[in-house]
Structure 1
Amino acid sequence: MYFSVIRNNRFFVIVADGVVETELIELPTEELSDQVAYLLQLAWNEGELWGKETQRKEMDPLGYSKVISEAILRMKSLTHDEINAESEFNEKRIDEYNRQVMVQVLSWKSTENQ
């Protein structure tokens, strides 16, 4: 965090991280030190936001996080009967997938034995 202070009639811009404070620069007027501290803090905040957005885009380039959050909200709003219906539907899909895999394995084994 950047801020301006007056020490011994001198105007400083200070950078602090919560543990340590360091004098960054001495300026000739209070207004100038206030303005420099404000602009440095503004630049820091913009850089932090840019970094977060860049990281989010790198981690989720196709934007699936919105789709996932909408699906979670929809699941939270389901009634007990709707949950049971979805569960049965998913079980049928899993059974169909397993059947298809078994057919593929059996056809692979039969061609291997020939």
Structure 2
Amino acid sequence: MYKSVIRDGKFLVLVVDGIFDTPLMELPTEELADKVAFELQSAWEDGIERGSNQKQSDLLGTGGDTEITSNLQKLQAMSAEERDAYHQRVDRRNERIEKVAEARRWRNVLSWKEHN
């Protein structure tokens, strides 16, 4: 994980693995250190998710293709109004999921500020 901390008046981004915490870089402002740690953590989590999705796809083989085909057929069978309503529901759900993930990521990145 990546953490943003203030130590000895320096704004640091740390790499933390549960045992060690190693300073990665010092930045000129607290806001910049927070943002850099957040972006690094976001990139890390995106990589983990993509790797997991790729592994699942490899294990399922063509099983995912049939699910996609089935979902496309359901969408094609819907009327334009039903499709619009469906897309709005999916968009709202995805926005909520992203907001929760972003809040969790910020909380994790800033979590050591209260302790150090």
Q: TM-score, normalised by structure 2?
A: 0.53
Q: What is the aligned-residue identity percentage?
A: 45
Tell me the residue number matched to 1:76. none
Equivalent residue runs for 1:51-62 within 5 Å: 51-62=51-62
Greater Cα radius of gyration, structure 1 or 2: 1
1:27-106, aligned counterparts within 5 Å? 27-63=27-63
Distance in 2 (alpha carbons) for counterparts of 1:21 and 1:4: 11
1:15 is paired with a residue whose SS is strand
Structure 1, unmatched stretches of 5+, are 68-114
C-alpha distance in structure 1 between counterparts of 2:59 and 2:20, whole Å? 33
Task: Measure the CA separation in 1 of the matches of 2:23 and 2:44.
Answer: 17
Please list every run of at least 4 consecutive aligned residues from structure 1 whose deviation after the TM superposition is greater than 3 angstroms: none
1:16 partner amino acid? V
* Superposed displacement of residue 59, structure 1: 1.2
Which residues in structure 2 correspond to 1:14-25 (within 5 Å)?
14-25=14-25
Unmatched segments (≥5 aa) in structure 2? 68-116
- Corresponding letter in the other structure for 1:48: I
Aligned: 1:11 with 2:11: yes
Where 2:38 maps in the other structure, the secondary structure is helix
